[in-house]
């Protein structure tokens, strides 16, 4: 059984650019949640995907969007990057929506 993986591990972008982050869920898990973790803070929920449909969204603007694929892997896209978007982006997979969530290693995004 493989765990949750994310790519890339680190990324540097400039303001106004767009970025795509990727997540592969743990084997057998059909639900992926994305979180933003700013330095020194707890993770903040962005959205969740369950069987390729968005299944809940946090207080993030529409320039944060996502996808889930038939193999349950997922992408997080952020348009028009701002300096405050600099953070660790974590994805978490779960067996189904509402059960225990297991986190990936995260992608560290720096916006200059």
Nearest to 69 by CA among 106, 98, 32, 104: 32
Residue nearer to other proteins on the CB measure, 19 or 33: 33
In angstroms, what is the minimal distance from the CB of 16 to other proteins?
A: 28
Q: Residue written as tokens 């993770």?
A: 43
CA angle centred on 66, ends 91 and 112, rounded to 5°: 75
Site for other proteins contains 56 (CB under 8 A):
yes
Residues 43 and 27 sit within 8 Å (Cβ to Cβ): no
From residue 82 to residue 111, the character string flagging contacts with other proteins as x (rule: CB under 8 A) and all else as - is --------x------xx-xxxxxxx-----
Out of 11, 22, 45, 86, the residue judged to bind other proteins by CB under 8 A:
45
């Amino acid at each position: 059984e493989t765990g949750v993986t994310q790519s890339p591990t680190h990324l540097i972008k400039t303001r106004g650019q767009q970025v795509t982050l990727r997540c592969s869920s743990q084997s057998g898990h059909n639900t992926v949640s994305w979180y933003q973790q700013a330095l020194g803070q707890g993770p903040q929920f962005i959205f969740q995907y369950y069987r390729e449909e968005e299944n809940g969204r946090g207080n993030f603007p529409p320039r944060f969007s996502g996808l889930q694929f038939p193999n349950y892997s997922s992408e997080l896209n952020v348009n028009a990057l701002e300096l405050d978007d600099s953070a660790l982006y974590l994805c978490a997979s779960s067996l189904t929506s509402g059960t225990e969530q297991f986190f990936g290693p995260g992608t560290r995004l720096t916006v200059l």
